[in-house]
Structure 1
Amino acid sequence: MVSEEEISNVAKLMKIDLEDHSSHIKRVQKMLEYFDILDRENVESEEITVQETDLDKLRDDKYFHR
């Protein structure tokens, strides 16, 4: 279980100002549970695949102000 103190410490390290740490505990706990699921899966025998894309085939980034 993730404590409010741990959330506070991580927020300080990330330089994020969180007024109410308790509201983030459930969200962080869900993330950690998901990582636990990934850790339990046996993927050591899986081959790592990488899809390379040439940079000239990507679209230009555009900023839209709302």
Structure 2
Amino acid sequence: MGVLLPDSLLRNDVVAVLAAFVAINTIVYVTLAVAKILPKLYVRDWLSTRNRRSETRSIDPDAPV
């Protein structure tokens, strides 16, 4: 009644290992896809930097500091 594989084959240890591998692989690819969608985060932006210039060195003198 719609069963393609016998129950004894589906309860085999090899099939369980394959199913675990597919599950872990799916989680990894979903994580990578979500990480690619999100904007990049730089630790350097969170830390205070003391070595920033107080004056602009741009060709445009009215450029923001």
Q: TM-score, normalised by structure 1?
A: 0.38
User: Which one scores higher on RCO, CA 8 angstroms, separation ≥ 6?
Assistant: 1
Find the structure with the greater CA-based Rg: 2
Q: TM-score, normalised by structure 2?
A: 0.38
